[in-house]
Amino acid sequence: MHGPDPSCLYPMAGFPRAVFLKNFITRPNIQVGDFSYYDDPNGAERFEERNVLYHYEFLGDRLIIGRFVAIAHGVRFIMSSANHLMDGFSTYPFNIFGNGWEEGFDPAAYNAASRGDTVVGHDVWIGTQARIMPGVTIGDGAIIGAYAVVASDIPPFSIAVGNPARVIRQRFDKETVARLQDIAWWNWPQEKITRNLDAIRGRDIAKLEQAV
């Protein structure tokens, strides 16, 4: 056996609140890697509807989630369309209500204000009820604390908590982080991952580098 099938909808027998998220993604502007899961007792299958907010294809921003990401209950991704234009006197979105209020509005203004893609790296753990704001990048191996509001980029293998989220410490020293990113075990074939779980879960970087 080489671990679970990444195409399995409910990878934990008798525990339907956890899903392999990729298998429930239908929108072209959301990408999720293998083995990333979302846990929600109220229907994890509805992630796109309830957890990715203000995400419209016309703006072009994408939500990209890597492999082996653990997303706890209630995490929300706020996308760029949530933002209102602030250059004029009013921030009210008159144009979206039509009936003449759309006249004179330049849609390019929204595109110019977009903060771009929201990217979650590989092997990231996002704690319950965290909020991920538009256009941020969360690096590989990072941990986001419960109820954190992530409004700026989080470096790889760091721990961030609070509102706004701030890095409280690095999980490993810079040399180890660089070596881990070179190894990139999350991109290994599933059989190799299975053979080397002890090294992946362990603390011996040399052993992980020597994995075959």
Which residue in 46, 35, 38, 32 sits closest to 15, CA to CA? Answer: 38
What is the bridge-based pairing of β-strands 149-150 and 143-144? unpaired
Question: What size, in residues, is the chain?
Answer: 212
**Choice among 2, 55, 73, 84 that is catalytic:** 84
How many whole angstroms separate alpha carbon 106 and alpha carbon 95? 9
Backbone torsions φ then ψ of 120, nearest 5 degrees: -110, 125
How many whole angstroms separate alpha carbon 158 and alpha carbon 15? 30
Q: Half-sphere exposure of residue 31, counting CA atoms within 13 Å on the CB side?
A: 11
Q: What is the DSSP letter of 49?
A: H
For the question of residue 2 being annotated catalytic, the response is no
How many whole angstroms separate alpha carbon 176 and alpha carbon 195? 22
CB 160, CB 143: distance < 8 Å = yes
How many whole angstroms separate alpha carbon 101 and alpha carbon 94? 6
What is the bridge-based pairing of β-strands 137-138 and 118-120? parallel
Q: Which residues are catalytic?
A: 84
